[in-house]
Amino acid sequence: MPRTAVRRPSRLAGDARERILRTAYDLFSRHGVRAVGIDTVIARSGVAKMTLYRHYPSKDKLALAFLRRREELWTRAWLQTEVERRADSPRERLLAIFDVFDRWFRRADFEGCSFINVLLEIDDRAHPVRAATVQHLEVIRAFLRELAGAAGVRDPEGFARQWHILMKGSIVAAGEGDRDAARRARDMGTLLLERETAGAKRK
């Protein structure tokens, strides 16, 4: 995600809790949750250890706060907002996702999807951070289901899962170094849309 391209809350910028979360956001989104220790967050945020634990009693609590912030900034303030700005019809908004991704993939600070990264880091399905990640990914699929239904797709749930696979696959491919991954995914998405809306009135 273009971390510098979104506005973060500023009225609490001097507050220790906000500084900790902003620091964790930058570190976790770039390096993953498990690779970043609490001591690093403390050092980078400039707070005392007791201050961090007063606001976030455990690393898991901090990770959960990070995921909530990621949804706020990445899913809603960036992806959904950009898609809605670029296109008006549901069909074109689905395809616009990959136009937004194309610019993201070409940024020098492209860091991949934190939800995917955390999901792969934590294999315990009962772990609260992993469970939260699954829920945050579902928020993205809900957005896709809504667009699919409005576009006349016959099975919005199944389609949303297929479209999400294209999205996640393109992110991984971009992480491998394929800067054209979003364009390839858009081409596949166009074919999928044609198949799933055949005979339906274009929205």
Domain boundary residue among 41, 57, 73? Answer: 57
> How remote is the C-alpha of 46 from its chain's centroid?
27
Please state, rounded to an integer, the average pLDDT across all residues of the chain: 92
Is there a single domain that holds both residue 170 and residue 198? yes
Is there a single domain that holds both residue 144 and residue 90? yes
Angstrom distance (rounded) from CA 102 to CA 9: 26
Angstrom distance (rounded) from CA 142 to CA 74: 15
Domain count, the chain: 2
Residue of 115, 97, 75 whose CA lies nearest to 170: 97
Residue 180 pLDDT exceeds 80: yes
Residue 5 pLDDT exceeds 60: no
H-assigned helices in 151-199: 156-176, 181-196
Q: Is 108 helix (H, G, I), strand (E, B) or coil?
A: coil
| 31-62 pLDDT tens trace | 999 999 999 999 999 999 999 999 999 999 99
Angstrom distance (rounded) from CA 160 to CA 165: 9
The answer to whether residue 71 is domain-embedded is yes
- Give the mean pLDDT of 111-123: 96
The answer to whether residue 188 is domain-embedded is yes
The answer to whether residue 3 is domain-embedded is no
Instruction: Give the domain CATH number at 179.
Output: 1.10.357.10
Residue 126: CB atoms within 10 Å: 6
Q: How confident is the model at residue 14 (pLDDT cuts 50, 70, 90)?
A: low
Is there a single domain that holds both residue 120 and residue 176? yes
Residue 9 pLDDT exceeds 80: no
Is there a single domain that holds both residue 46 and residue 97? no
Q: Hunting for tokens 């294999």 — which residue is that? A: 123
Residue 16 pLDDT exceeds 60: yes
187 is written with which tokens? 């081409």
Angstrom distance (rounded) from CA 88 to CA 203: 10
Is there a single domain that holds both residue 142 and residue 177? yes
Residue 2 pLDDT exceeds 90: no
Is there a single domain that holds both residue 112 and residue 183? yes
| 67-97 pLDDT tens trace | 999 999 999 999 999 999 999 999 999 999 9
Q: How confident is the model at residue 201 (pLDDT cuts 50, 70, 90)?
A: low
Angstrom distance (rounded) from CA 2 to CA 106: 10
In the prediction, which pLDDT does 199 show? Answer: 63
- Give the mean pLDDT of 9-26: 79
In the prediction, which pLDDT does 198 show? Answer: 82
CA distances from 103 to 27, 100, 182 (A): 22, 6, 9
122 is written with which tokens? 């934590």
Structural domain that includes position 43: 10-57
The answer to whether residue 42 is domain-embedded is yes
Helix then strand count (H, E) for the chain reads 10, 0
In the prediction, which pLDDT does 168 show? Answer: 98
Q: How confident is the model at residue 182 (pLDDT cuts 50, 70, 90)?
A: very high
In the prediction, which pLDDT does 65 show? Answer: 98
Instruction: Give the domain CATH number at 51.
Output: 1.10.10.60
Cβ atoms 145, 158 nearer than 8 A: no
Residue 132 pLDDT exceeds 90: yes
The answer to whether residue 5 is domain-embedded is no
Residue of 58, 160, 168, 189 whose CA lies nearest to 114: 168
The answer to whether residue 4 is domain-embedded is no
